[in-house]
Amino acid sequence: MKQILRMNSFILLFGSLMLITSCADSEPCDGNCPTGFVCENDKCVVDPNFNPCAGVVCGPDEQCVNGNCEDIIFGENVVTGEVSTNTTWTADKIHILATKVYVKEGVTLTIEPGTVIKGREGIGSLATALIISRGARIIAEGTAEKPIIFTSTLDNVRPGQKAGNSLTEYDFGKWGGLIVLGKAPISATNGDTETQIEGIPGDLTYGKYGGAEPADNSGVLKYVSIRHGGALIGDGNEINGLTLGGVGNGTVVENIEIVGNLDDGLEIFGGTVNVKNLAVGFIGDDALDVDQNYSGTVDNFYIIHGSDNTDEALELDGPEGSTYKDGLFTIKNGTVIAVDQILTSAADLKAKCQGTLENISFKGYKKGKHLAVRAAFNTASSCAEKTDAFTYLRDGRLVIKNCQVLDTEITAADATRVYTDSGASDAAAQKECLNNVSASYEELIDGLFGTNGNKVTGTATVGANKAAFNTWTYLSTKNKLQ
């Protein structure tokens, strides 16, 4: 069709030139000139106000040139290593991450609305990722009309499109991911107040995070979609779609989507950052994972949970060390839907998990797979209880309220379970301790969805505002929202 249009354009142009020659060399034009020309002094001359593209409608990956629709050819900006000066990535190019790219402390990386960033394939030391170091900033402020997309070079999505068609939501690990690091408090092992982010070798100083600045500002992430990441960097060690390490509440994180990641969708290591409007779909591990005493708020989240090999929708831990132990998270207004029941479980509360889960609906999970709470014992002291998620649930430091299980075929007791760490060195002894106190522990857990506004029901009256994700996400474009 484009060849026919170009041929027609040539014929029209040739005819126009013949008319101009005829008009100029013989009789006056008398105002009768071809399209795009006007009669002046009895001659046909080019009309300076004529726009050959007026009224021409082209496809999303085309532009009008002299009245014809032609493919847009986007240039590439290949990026490696350190970003050492304030830099802007513009939407008229596709930006290629050829290595791990890190933004140096004191430097700001600005990404225009509608920009597409693609990471090359690679594993181990060759895995690609974008890292915002402590003290650096990213200003990635997309819009619903022009989201910013991080994806793989194998993805044929182009600027101006919401999704390509060369990959599916099950294409995992095609590049690394986006890592943002800050100076907010964390509770790491051994009492450390700073540590190295997973996915970055320990000898690379730009992987450090943590500090003592709760209001630390790492920039802005708005209307950002992250796809097909999670490259393998070691045995059982992959990069999350979005990693927030020690990020402070001066940072804005709103309208975020993560799809098709091999490891976790969003993992938050400590810090105080607030996350609003989060969509996560088809993840190889956990959809939302919080560690090291994260003490911010995740508000309005929507999880489509399932793949060939996945884990929890919510994996929630508390402090790991002796510092910054008092912060509490809030995770509220969420919809969690399982599309694969083989391995999936909805929420795993463990390792001194502390905070509030509120107004969350769970749908599509097997019996006992909705909410699990871990207990721990000191087996050397006659099964004396140790502080863990169960302890905090019983004592009110871990609060679950107004949550719903959408399955009238099960009872409240079917939705929950208490367990011990099967990976512990004394796992058998831990299990035996739990068996000794099973009745009292299970009584509290079994009644969880009959108290504090929690219930098993057939119709959700709590959950996410799905409209926040309807127009701009991969999930909506591919009709995956339920």
Three-class secondary structure of residue 429 per DSSP: helix
Contact 332, 356 (CB under 8 A): yes
pLDDT of amino acid 382: 82
**Angle formed at CA 62 by CA 59 and CA 63, multiple of 5 degrees:** 115
Look at residue 338 and tell me whether its pLDDT is greater than 60: yes
Look at residue 116 and tell me whether its pLDDT is greater than 90: yes
Contact 104, 132 (CB under 8 A): no
Look at residue 146 and tell me whether its pLDDT is greater than 90: yes
The gap from C-alpha 338 to its chain's centroid, in whole angstroms, comes to 18
- Based on C-alpha coordinates, what's the Rg of the chain? 28
- Cross-strand partners of 392: none
| Residue 143 phi, psi dihedral angles, 5° rounding | -135, 170
Three-class secondary structure of residue 17 per DSSP: helix
Element (H, E) at 390: helix 389-395
In the structure, what pLDDT confidence band is assigned to residue 31 with cuts at 50, 70 and 90? low
Look at residue 290 and tell me whether its pLDDT is greater than 60: yes
Contact 255, 224 (CB under 8 A): yes
Look at residue 127 and tell me whether its pLDDT is greater than 70: yes
pLDDT tens by residue, 87-111: 999 999 999 999 999 999 999 999 9
Q: How far is it, in rounded angstroms, from Cα 278 to Cα 347? A: 17
Average pLDDT over residues 269-278: 98
CA dihedral 143, 149, 155, 160 (to 10 degrees): 30
Look at residue 11 and tell me whether its pLDDT is greater than 60: no
pLDDT of amino acid 343: 66
Percent of the chain scored above 70 by pLDDT?
A: 92
pLDDT tens by residue, 415-427: 999 999 888 889 9
Of 8-17, 18-27, 421-430, which has the strongest mean pLDDT?
421-430
What is the amino acid identity at position 252?
V
**Token pair of 45 as six digits:** 């001359």
Residue whose pair of structure tokens reads 């009644």 in the numeric block: 447
DSSP characters over 49-65: T--TTTT----TTEEEE
**H-only helix segments in 215-295:** none
| Residue 17 phi, psi dihedral angles, 5° rounding | -65, -40
Average pLDDT, the chain: 89
pLDDT of amino acid 26: 44
CA dihedral sign, ordered 194, 197, 200, 206: negative
pTM to 2 decimal places: 0.86
Instruction: Specify the higher pLDDT residue, 444 or 1.
Output: 444
